[in-house]
Structure 1
C-alpha cells in the first residue's frame, strides 16, 4: 500500500465545500481499486487568513508544501474584501511560479446527460495545454506619470525554454490521444513573440511527423471552438491565449462549475497543483449548492498525474453515469445540492 501525502487548501468561497466533497470521492475510488491511499493535511490559507495575518500564507508556506506529493486547491478570491491581484499573486500564482508548474492542463468534453449551450455540440473531447509560467502574465512593466501623460507598460516574455516545453508537452500528449495538435497564435498582429512561437511550433512539429500539426489565429480559434469543437484534439497556447480558450471550453461543456485544471511540474523537483476553474463563487458560498464535479474531475487529473490513469478513467466514467442519470446541481439545470451529487458518486463507486 502506497500512501500519498496531499496538501489540501480549500481556500475561499465554495472551495471550502467542494474540496471536502471531492476528497470523499477520492478516498472511495482508492479503496475500490486498492494499492494506494491518501493522507490529507489541510491548510487554511485564504482571504480570511490574509485579513487575519496580512498575507495569504505564512512566510514558510512554500517550504511546507514542497515535500507533498501534490497540492489540491479549491479556490482563491474574495474581491469584496481582498483585491484579486493580492489574493492570486499571494497564493495561487506564488505556488505556480515557485514550484515551476510550467504546464497548465485543462480538458473539455461533452458529458453524457449534460446540455451544451451549443445548438450542435456533437461529441467534442479536447485538451488545452497552456504555457503557465511566462508569456503575457510576466511581472515586467510599470506605470509612470500622472494625468493625460500617464503611461502603463506590460511586457510579455517568451523564452525558448518555456515555449518549447509547452509545445513539446502538447505533441507528446497528442501522441497518446488522437494525434492532432493545434497551435493558438496571433502572428498577424503581435509581430515579435508570436512569430517566435510559430517558429518553435514548426521546429518541434518536425520532430513528430506522425502528429498532424496546424496553427490558427486565436480569434478564429475561439470561433471554431463554438462552431466545430469536435474537430480539435490538443490545443497549445500561450499563458493568455490558453487562459481565454479554456473558459470557452468550460462554457460549451454546459457550465464552468465542471471544468478542471492541473498545474504541472514536469521536472520532478516540486509537487504539482490541481484546482478547478470555477473560482470561489462568493455569491453562492455557504449555500450548499455548488457543483462539486469540477473539483472531482480535478481529482481525476491528480490520479492521472500520480500514475493511476485506470482509477482516473473509472472515476470520470462514474461521474458521467451520475450526470446521465439526471442528478445535477442548479448551475446545470438541476436541483441537487453539492453533497447529494458527490455522495451519489461515492455510492456508485462503492456499489
Structure 2
C-alpha cells in the first residue's frame, strides 16, 4: 500500500492519539492495561509471544469485556529450533546451579519445543481479528500475510535497521515500528545470532523517513510529551511507548520488578543475552552481572528463555529482583504510578 493510502492508518483505527502502548509479554501488558490504553484513545497491545492459543483468546475476551475500542496482538516470528548440545546444556546447568540452590529449585529439565507453536498462535489471532497484528524478529511468511489481509487485519513489523524496514515494507506490512537502540525489552533484530546494529532512534528515523513509504512508528527512549513531539516532528506517524507505563496502576508488572524500577530513578540499563539468548535491554541486576562473565554457558534463543524461566519465576515468588529480566528502556523521567489514561493525557498535553 502506498503512503498516501496508508498514512492515516491510525485515524482509520479511530484512535484519539497516535500511540501504541507497547506489547510487553510476560506480565506487564495485562488485560487491564491493554483495555485502559485503548479506552483512553491509544492502541493497547497484548504481548502474546509466551501464551498458547487458548490464553491469547481468553486475554482478548477479557479486553473486549472492558472496552469496545481497538487493540493489537503481538507475537514473535519463529526461527529454526536451535540445537542444544549435551555439553552446552551441561555448562548452562553448572553455571546456574548456585542460583537454583539459593532459590530451592530442583535441577532443570530442558527439551524442545522451547516456545509456543507460532502457527497455532496465529490461527487464534485470525479468529480474534484484532485491530492490528504486530510482530518482531523478522518477516511474516507470505501465506500468513495473505491470511491477515483476507481477514482485514493491518500488519505492523518491527525493524532495527533501515534494511530491515525496507524488507518489511516490501513484504506487504501496513506500518513499521522503528525500534531504536534505546528501547527496553527484546531487540527486534531479524538474526538472533547477529551483532546488534545499535542504531539509536534519531538516526534510525533520519535514515528511514522519505525512503520507507508505509507509516513509521517510533520506539525507544520515549518517556515524556517532549519526546513524543520530537519524534513526530522528525517524521514518525506514531509512537510506541513501553517503559513509561510499567508502573501504571493497571500494569501487570510484578511487585519486585515494580519496586526495583521505582527505587532506581537513574535506571541503569544495558542489553544482554543472559535471560533469553537474544539481545534485550533491561535494568542491571545480579543475574545480568554475574552471568555475563559466563558467556559460553548461555544457550541460544529461545532455549535460554525456557531454561531460565524457573529461576525468574522463583525470584518473583521470593520478592527478589536479583534474577528477573527487568526490561526497561533508556528514557529519562519519573515513572508514572497513576492511571494509564492520565499518563496518555500527559504524553499528548499541548
Give the TM-score taking structure 1 as reference length: 0.24
Greater fraction of residues in strand: 1
Larger gyration radius, structure 1 or structure 2: 1
Greater fraction of residues in helix: 1
Give the TM-score taking structure 2 as reference length: 0.24
